[in-house]
Structure 1
Amino acid sequence: MSLVDSERRVLSGMRPTGPLHLGHYHGVLKSWTQLQHSYQCFFCIADLHALSVDQQVGARLGDAVLDVALDWLAAGVSPSSATLFVQSQVPEHAELHLLLSMACPLDWLQRLPSCPPNDALTYGRLGYPLLQAADILLYRAGLVPVGGDQLAHVAFARELAQRFNQHYGCEPDFEAKAEAAILKLGKKTGALYRRLRSAYQLEGDDEALNTARALLKEQQTITLGDRERLFGYLEGGARVLLPEPQALIGDTLRLPGLDGLPMSRSADNAIFLSDSPAVVEEKIQRIAVVADATGEAETCRVWQLRQAYAGAVNGEQIESGCRAAGGDCQTCKAALIETINAELAPLQARGAEYRDNPLLVQRILADGAERARSEARDTLVDVRQALGLNYR
């Protein structure tokens, strides 16, 4: 089994709801295209999650999955730099979800903000955060790119990993195996590990803990199992079977829709990544201008959308120009149309190759699923063994 550096591994995903829009691009996809060059990234089309939210979505799932994959590729998410796959094509997601449910208290799910009212509650909907935790923990991902509305779910996954490790990471001969693993570090490194462990456990030295963790990450002569034992031995008496994920919050742009509300497909206020220049122009032109022509920029939807594209430096210039125009938005609309079409042009050019060759997209997803399954199987081997399910 290969060593996994959880802090260099990222897991993120989207439910397949159809073609993606500029809100998805600026809120998620642009950051993915950067992360894929610095981290080991797994990007999941979460079709099982789609079923838990909308029981009628099944008939549309095939087309929706393809739409999402096409837009990911058009945006620059690269199958040579990241692993792109469909959740249901990696059945280990469902298996880990089931196994984690044995350790998940019911009230942990009920207290989450996403818990629906009883009249809309199904087993799958209640377990949505648990399946999301399984998505993350299956790949031992240490980092999860999220917005503020998902922080509670990442915290839940972290607490679940802690609970699982405490319950099932305690091998009967854990201390003996950990001590044997220290010897494998070598005399000098092993002695340093012991000093750092003592400094943390006896003196509460957090810096010593962080130094010891960094030391273990550099070791290439010990197995993943031994390294997990030594991570656990630093803090207590349990092997770290499932690393605890942390939220990765970047600088993302929250793009308003054509009506000033958050851009959304269901609200019919979105500009899609596949919209032609003519469609973009038509959508921008039908945005209502300031009715009283007072030049109050804060109330103008055109200004709100254009400001989202402006840098901090020229944002004030846009606003002053808007006020000076006295509510005449045509010049501002023309500039916004030009900006959006210029942004979409390279995406659409890149996406054309894939749209004309859906078999290529299917092959990319199939290859990604196989790579994802290889990693997922390694995790399930350890989880099954910890649970005593290793007799087959």
Structure 2
Amino acid sequence: MTRINDTSSPAIAARAGMAPLMQHSSLTRFLIARVGSITAQQMLMLAISWHMYDLTSSAWYLGLVGLFQFMPGLATTFVAGHCADRMHRGKIVAACLAAQAVTAALLAISTMTHVVTRDLLLGLSLVLGAIRPFQMSGQQALLPMLVPQPLLARAMALSTVVQQVCIIAGPALGGLLFATGVNALYLTCAAVFCVSAVMYALIRYDYVAPPREPVTAATVLAGLRFVWSNPLLLGGISLDLFAVLFGGATALLPVYAREILHVGPQGLGLLRSAPAVGALCVGLVLSRRAIRNSVGKKLLIAVAVYGVSIVAFGVSRSFPLSLLLLAISGGADTISVIVRQTLVQLETPDRMRGRVAAVNTLFIGASNQLGEFESGLAATVFGVIGSVVLGGCATVLVSVAWSRLFKPLARRDTLH
């Protein structure tokens, strides 16, 4: 469950019920830049994962890629949130994308000169992991500044639709470029990152530099204290953490593509895109008609559906059925993402959004990158299929447990 067609066209936006949103030029720039950055990131991660498996033929090293992306985030997340509340958020994201362009270029050069190794891939994964908290904190805290608050839930849905279009297109395009050579894929990523960085740097919003105050542990960790003291936010963010930590199967998709479904790198691109297809369909519905009641209950049900679909995917031997099950998981995940992210933004004052977004980023990183390591480790112990099935079952149990542990979340009726 990773946290995508031209949605910026006025005609398409109107059909999706998004015409009022697209009147905001800064939001349009944000979405265009988001298309490029997410597409490039999806292609880059596809290339790194397949490249690593091609070098090692090991699920363990696929898991290590996720772990190495997670570890540096522990050191940079809270600093990233503090920066997002003190600096221009668009420029922070632009700098992060420029750094990723350099990383992709280094991968291309090392591949062309035949010096690429598993250690180099792991080292650059550390770099990407250190960058990600700054990018995600800036992006999450930036969006509420671009639209009026009454339109925020629909803007979140539209942003999710754009994300899912890119998650569909990115791996599919990456798979095609991979057929011409991994160098072409890395160089394309570098170019797209550069264009997106320029677009983010051009985003304008009412930015007022906050009053200077000493940088202390208390100010840096204020977002963590805010989330910890709010059972609604703590429940929503931790639900995503444990659901994806156990239920995510992304790290093992190269194994499924090669060893179980026998579909190669092009099939891997489709497998990585399939969750986004379901997410796109659900996101389009929610961008037109937001969830209006019983949001907590629907959030928990969506997480349970996600877990069940992962269990079924784990035992599937049919490529079309596997694609369908991954699409269902993506649709269920989108309900969770939109509800959770909207609640986080609406329950957080703007002066705290960067630091709360940093906490959210840390939990997302733990669920995605640490979840990839957990998948690789579990696959080593229980086998690939056993790892995926047990993870999906654990996700269903998490949904049930959270309905009891976090009553304010389970009983939340509306987003506002």
Q: Say which structure, 1 or 2, has more relative contact order (CA 8 Å, 6+ apart).
A: 2
Instruction: Work out which of the two has the higher radius of gyration on C-alpha atoms and give 1 or 2.
Output: 1
